Structure 1
Amino acid sequence: MTVTDPYRLAKHNALVLCGAQAVVGAGQPIVLSMGGLAGAYLLGADKSLATAPITTFMLGTAFSAIPAAMLMRRVGRRIGFIGGAAATALGGLIAVLALFQNHFWIFAFGLMIIGGGSAFLQQYRFAAADGAPSDFKPKAISWVMMGGIFAAIIGPQLVIYTRDLFEPVMFAGSFAAIIGLAIVGGAILSLLRPTEAKGSKAGDVKPAARPLVQIIKQPRFITAIVCGISSFSLMNFVMVGAPLAMIGCGFSPNEAALGISWHMVAMYAPSFVTGHLIARFGKDRMIAFGMLLMMAAGGVALSGIELWQFWLALVLLGLGWNFSFIGATAMVSECYRPSEKNKVEGLHDFLLFSIVAFGSLMSGRVYNAFGWDMVNWIIFPIAVLCLGLLALNAVRATAARSEA
């Protein structure tokens, strides 16, 4: 019997998931850069609910996280991921029809369906880590996240070339592009190979799954999930408000889309080296470095409202997210056993995107009520909380080593 080299299989799947991230994931910058603007286009004079479609997108991801994990436990990663791509295509179709019908809440519903497909997309990084040898896990996550570099270029460029495709129905072309992206992504995902054996060898003993409460109570798990949720929520909170702020300051939709493009390139570009940096400096330090970069982004945004300040703040925000979120994801992955992965990953993404959804709704409301400055001031207390948890972790680790 031929035994598959686990490193070779892990690299194959990481590359497939990287390609799918690049294509299916390109729909996310379209939603995030145009969702609020399309919402404002569909609304009347009161624009306070402009970011509500992005909120429904995040809620779709949150509410689908646990069902997606349960489905993939039954049918496997490949079929589950292809189903997620199909849901993304369906949501894109609904969004396009809603724009033609000028119906705000149907448009929001379409984005919620796209969000449901995104719940599967968010599992790509876990799928790469789950099937990889322990020393390759951070690199496998980074490889998948590298696909986001291409998504960050493809998505905003599609916005620029398709936004007016069905003029006078604005933005419909951009959401139609999501349908094509999902179809191509589904074809790429069909190349994914299973990493779990169909049966166990004689004598194999696998540790039993622990109760979920026992896993959650681990101090390191708490730190990882708080830092991961905080980094993603802060990044999304500021990013969702940025196009509205740029348009409000007199810049064009294309300049806003390019700002989001640079932001998303910064989100994923460091993935070429993030895995190596985590292996060298540790997860805790990389998360802390990411939080400091996010605080720097807030400082730049508060310094003025020139286009370069918006763009530089978004770039720093993206860089900070990369280091903190990948570090936190790698930290989460070391806190559970293979038999526990589905329930832990489902819970993780449910909590993550529930809070991110709330943040995306509040972004528009905070911006409308208090302005762009307040959107950025919120970064600082949350980042300081995460740095405090990381410092407490370091104290615990030092005490444990001294007792050993």
Structure 2
Amino acid sequence: MSVVSFTRNGNFIGLLLANTILGFAMPMLLILGGLTGLQLASDTALVTLPASVQTLAGMLAAAPFSVVMGRFGRRAGFAAGGILALVGAGIGAFALITGNFVLLCLGHFILGAALSSFQYFRFAAAEVVSPDWQPVAISLMLTSGLVAAIGGPQIFIMAKDALAPIPLAGAYVALAAVIVVGMVPLALVRIPTAPIAKTHATTKRFASFAVLRRGPVRRAVGIAAISQGVMIFMMIPTPLAMLGCGFTEAVAGDVIRWHVVAMFAPSFVTGFLIKWFGKESIALTGLVILAIAAVAGAAGLSSAHFYGSLILLGVGWNFSFIGATSMLASAVTDAEKSAVQGVNDTIIALVSTICAFAAGLVVTGLGWAVVAIVSMIIVVLAVGALVLSKAQPASA
């Protein structure tokens, strides 16, 4: 596939457009989860429950959505996710109108499940281009996160008072509108459906775990899970650590903003770097940058240390996560994709959930320096394990 044919690939362009629009939902929900919980929760301990159940639902729904896509196609899976998102947004708005906290949690649970389906856009992008362009397609698909980080909060600001005097309810209506608009480009996309392996039911059930024993697959899943987990482990407690060091909320927020920019801005070139230097080389480079980010975090508590650490953290995540995704896309057959990708995203979500909860406990109990040191140790151990795994025979 030439550069011209890649840029004229209607299926890829449709997926990129849909993913960019639907990506607005995530930052909107990051804002809504805490604010609506604060508005309706009867106990301050329950304020983060909507956001927590949203994360839990994403973990539980990742594998089922992959199975649905493997059997009925990517478009069917994305459409199911869109319908669920519309239901969840409607329940969220109704919960605010009625002041029902339980309904609010239910709405965010459904929304979390729906958003897990959109994580498969990166794999769908790899399936509509030739193998040599897969890293570029995956990388460019993640640039939508940069657009969403800017546009999502802006949509929230414009829509939050649309149903005044009920605060924030309008944002759920705007979220539903975003979902509807984002689903339109998918009507024009044609994604090949992977063949379904004709094996015994029990074999199917455990096939994905057997595939994980293969070295290339194991390394791809491991790098993705480690990079996502370390990124979450350091990012989540950063505002709390900065406030504890005397910085203002504005400065802490600006550090997170530049971290998000660093997460997605490199995506414009990461795919090309993978084409030139190889998937595993870029993924390993990402892990090294993550380790350097942890060292920078542990080195001091000035604003420069926080900015530098979180920017490096974003770049390291970008290289390692896109590299790992490209590795997985090329390491499995079409018949294995739905099962293995589901297990991959479930493992990533599980690691992310554990790291999110652990980060708060560590930073409040032991301090920011310990968070950074633990992150560094995890990455160093992961790199060592990957090097040993790479040295094993190909049959491992």
Query: One fold, TM greater than 0.5?
Result: yes
Q: Is the 8 A contact 2:297 2:306 kept in 1?
A: yes
In the other structure, the counterpart of 1:205 is: none
Q: Map residues 5-404 of structure 1 onto 2, 5 A cutoff.
A: 11-32=9-30, 35-36=33-34, 38-39=36-37, 43=41, 46-47=44-45, 50-99=47-96, 104-161=101-158, 172-196=169-193, 211-245=207-241, 249=246, 251-252=248-249, 258-304=254-300, 309-396=305-392
Cα deviation per residue 1:3-50 (whole Å; 9 max; x = unaligned)? xxx965993222222222221112222333553465456556755x65
Cα deviation per residue 1:59-109 (whole Å; 9 max; x = unaligned)? 211211122122223332123212212322332333344455555554333
Range 97-106 or range 118-127, more displaced: 97-106
Over 3 Å counting, the alpha-carbon distance change for 1:87 and 1:369 in structure 2 is: farther
**1:236: how far off?**
2.3
**Letter in structure 1 aligned against 2:235:** M
Q: Identity of counterpart residues, as a percentage?
A: 33
Cα deviation per residue 1:91-138 (whole Å; 9 max; x = unaligned)? 233334445555555433322212111221111111111233221111
Range 156-165 or range 326-335, more displaced: 156-165
Cα deviation per residue 1:256-306 (whole Å; 9 max; x = unaligned)? 555443322221111111111112222222122212222333334445555
RMSD: 3.4
**Letter in structure 1 aligned against 2:150:** I
Over 3 Å counting, the alpha-carbon distance change for 1:24 and 1:353 in structure 2 is: same
**1:218: how far off?**
0.7
Q: Is the 8 A contact 1:58 1:354 kept in 2?
A: no
Range 79-88 or range 98-107, more displaced: 98-107
**Letter in structure 2 aligned against 1:111:** H
Secondary structure of the corresponding residue to residue 337 of structure 1: coil
Q: Distance in 1 between matches of 2:35 and 2:241?
A: 11
Q: Is the 8 A contact 2:267 2:318 kept in 1?
A: yes
Aligned residues: 383
Q: Is the 8 A contact 1:99 1:172 kept in 2?
A: yes
Q: Distance in 2 between matches of 1:304 and 1:101?
A: 48
**Letter in structure 2 aligned against 1:22:** T
Q: Distance in 1 between matches of 2:68 and 2:272?
A: 33
**1:231: how far off?**
0.8
Q: Distance in 1 between matches of 2:87 and 2:302?
A: 38
Over 3 Å counting, the alpha-carbon distance change for 1:388 and 1:296 in structure 2 is: same
Q: Is the 8 A contact 2:282 2:323 kept in 1?
A: yes
Over 3 Å counting, the alpha-carbon distance change for 1:197 and 1:166 in structure 2 is: closer
Q: Distance in 2 between matches of 1:232 and 1:77?
A: 24
For structure 2, the 5+ residue unaligned runs are 197-202
Range 289-298 or range 137-146, more displaced: 289-298
Q: Is the 8 A contact 2:66 2:338 kept in 1?
A: yes
Range 122-131 or range 261-270, more displaced: 261-270
Cα deviation per residue 1:128-154 (whole Å; 9 max; x = unaligned)? 112332211111111211222211221
Cα deviation per residue 1:352-397 (whole Å; 9 max; x = unaligned)? 212222322333344444444443333112211221133224434x
Over 3 Å counting, the alpha-carbon distance change for 1:53 and 1:297 in structure 2 is: farther
For structure 1, the 5+ residue unaligned runs are 1-5, 200-207
**1:329: how far off?**
0.9
Higher-RCO chain (CA-CA 8 Å, sequence separation at least 6): 1
Q: Distance in 1 between matches of 2:68 and 2:317?
A: 29
**1:163: how far off?**
5.7
Range 156-165 or range 223-232, more displaced: 156-165
**1:324: how far off?**
0.4
Cα deviation per residue 1:319-360 (whole Å; 9 max; x = unaligned)? 111100011111112221111111111111122212222322
Over 3 Å counting, the alpha-carbon distance change for 1:181 and 1:250 in structure 2 is: farther
Secondary structure of the corresponding residue to residue 236 of structure 2: helix
**Letter in structure 2 aligned against 1:30:** M
